[in-house]
Amino acid sequence: MSVAEPAQQAASKPLDVSRLRADFPILQEVVNGKPLVYLDSAATSQKPESVIQAISDYYRFSNANVHRGVHALGERATEAFEGAREDVARFVNADPRGVVFVRNTTEGLNLVAQAFARPLLGPGDRIVATEMEHHSNLVPWQQVRDQTGCELSYIKLTEDGRLDQDSVEGLLRPPTRLLAVTHVSNVLGTINPIRELVEQAHEQGIVVCVDGAQAVPHMPVDLKDLGADFYSFSGHKMLGPTGTGVLYGRPELLDKMPPFLTGGSMISVVTLEKTTWNEIPHRFEAGTPDIAGAAGLSAAIRYLEAVGMERIRQHSAELTDYAQEALSEVPGLTQYGPRGEDRTGMVSFNLEGVHPHDVGTILDREGVAVRAGHHCCQPLMRQLGVAATTRASFCLYNTRDEVDCLVRGLGEVNRIFRD
């Protein structure tokens, strides 16, 4: 499929995965004599040729610093960088003034923790997170707790990996001041009801900070509709370059926040005695940014828009359902997380008596790339009663045939360990 295909046409047609795969050079790789089956997109997605070309074109034709240059290359670089901000804002339906470029989801969440929560909270206040959070949306809040003396509590999970509603209702009330929650769990694939959580939180005056790293690649995200106060996601999980990410913050909140990093670009006036800050969002973008990365992120967004996020959502859901059914036939395999519409993008599992690292190593011999470990979710692993899991995660370029390759590879694991 051509990436220039209009999104309105794409939305009316089923996803042609075989044509899409031709846009991703690395999918032609051979691993251990087998065609690559890449099922690790939750860690980082592969990149289409258009993204690779956009990064190359920036360095070939537009390489200069942004905002300060009056020469032609500086103007091209600034146009590419600020154009990427506009593309991000359009993609997630957000005010461009609230779009802050960061390196990744982790940096965005740390920015909120240190520039918003730390100055605001103190003893007697409470932060609430959930037991399914990635360390990136858990450790920063532990730091704020230790720095301010506030309380940190966690929403519990049901046995099938959803948020426990009784726990939600018990904690989304005073003295809670901030809710930190993932949109989609990077282990369970659970899609949390963000709009409903935001409504409940806002009724109590609670600010909501969302980790959107696993949501933005798989489904349409409309930040005006969701209503979250802060929302962070990474470019490298949505076909874009590594080292790129976005923090969206409501402009009225960002405007009251001190900078996270200081130095060049984020200032208005500097004297030997004091400094005044630049306007938002530039106040939070100290130093030279990853301009080439922004160009690549812009190309990734245009690619996703051309394919159609509704079609990507449907493909991701169907592939996840197919994988859950196929894996249920593997002897000794336990899956984690819910079934149904509030689940997407990945399947985490264990084989009885086989360590996930051994599973991943044997699958690699078959050309199948998966992730093995605690997935930066050690508290969740303890809730599941395991040290680690194997995770197969999907993207728009994955197929049912690749899921079948995974199942055959697990058959080889069972043959080695059980015969």
CATH of the domain at 174: 3.40.640.10
Q: Give the range of the structural domain holding residue 154, as residue numbers without chain letter.
A: 53-305
Same domain? For 244 and 348 the reply is: no
User: For position 14, what pLDDT does the model report?
Assistant: 78
Summarize the confidence of residues 263-290 as an average pLDDT: 95
* Residues 397-403, mean pLDDT to the nearest whole number: 98
Q: Tell me, what's the pLDDT at 418?
A: 78
CA angle (70, 73, 79) in 5-degree steps:
85
- Pair (163, 18) in one structural domain: no
The reply to whether 176 falls in a domain is: yes
Could you tell me the pLDDT band of residue 12, with boundaries at 50, 70 and 90?
low
8-state DSSP, 279: P
The answer on 277 and 337 residing in a single domain is: no
What CA–CA distance (Å, rounded) separates 21 from 28? 9
Q: Are residues 347 and 400 in the same domain?
A: yes
CA distance 274 to 288: 22
**Is the same domain home to 220 and 279?**
yes
Does the structure show a pLDDT above 70 at 384? yes
Q: Per residue in 33-46, pLDDT tens?
A: 999 999 999 999 99
What is the average pLDDT across 250-267? 95
Give the SS3 label for residue 268. strand
pLDDT at 193 over 80: yes
Q: Which of 275, 305, 335 is the C-terminal boundary of a domain?
A: 305
CA proximity to 46, closest of 27, 65, 73, 64: 27
pLDDT range class, residue 13, cuts 50, 70, 90: confident
Q: Do 338 and 271 fall within a single domain?
A: no
Report cis status (omega within 30 of 0) of the bond before 175: yes
For 57, 82, 114, 265, 409, the CA distances from 294, given in Å and listed in that order, are 12, 9, 24, 17, 38
Q: Which distant-in-sequence residues (6+ apart) come within 8 Å of 17 by Cβ?
A: 315, 396, 397, 398, 399
Residue 98 inside a domain? The answer is yes
Same domain, 260 and 350: no
Domain boundary, last residue among 242, 276, 305: 305
DSSP for 78-139?
HHHHHHHHHHHHHHHT--GGGEEEESSHHHHHHHIIIIIIHHH--TT-EEEEETT--GGGTH
Number of structural domains found in the chain: 2
Q: Are residues 286 and 338 in the same domain?
A: no
CATH of the domain at 332: 3.90.1150.10
Same domain (yes/no): 186, 301: yes
Residue 2 lies in a domain: no
Residue 230 pLDDT grade (very low, low, confident, very high; cuts 50, 70, 90): very high
Same domain, 312 and 298: no
Q: Which of 12-21, 32-41, 52-61, 377-386 has the lowest mean pLDDT?
A: 12-21
Across the range 375-392, mean pLDDT stands at: 98
DSSP class per residue in 40-93: BTTT-----HHHHHHHHHIIIII-S-SSS--SHHHHHHHHHHHHHHHHHHHHHT
Q: 261, 287, 305 — which closes off a domain?
A: 305
pLDDT in tens, 325-365: 999 999 999 999 998 888 999 999 999 999 999 999 999 99
Over range 150-176, report the average pLDDT.
97
What's the mean pLDDT when you consider all of the chain? Answer: 95
pTM of the model: 0.95
Spatial distance between the Cα atoms of 191 and 185, rounded to a whole number of angstroms: 7
Q: Are residues 361 and 253 in the same domain?
A: no
Catalytic (active site) residue 377: no
| Set 150, 209, 376, 395: catalytic member | 376
Predicted pLDDT of residue 340: 82
Distance CA 387, CA 355 (A): 9
Residue 13 lies in a domain: yes
- Does the structure show a pLDDT above 70 at 4? no
Average pLDDT over residues 146-158: 98
pLDDT band at 161, cuts 50/70/90? very high
390 & 339 share domain: yes
Confidence class of residue 11 from pLDDT cuts 50, 70 and 90? low
What's the mean pLDDT in 401-415? 97
Contact call for residues 389 and 336 (beta carbons, < 8 A)? yes
pLDDT tens digits, residue range 79-104?
999 999 999 999 999 999 999 999 99
- Write the single-letter amino acid at 145: R
Q: Which two tokens stand for residue 391?
A: 């995770």
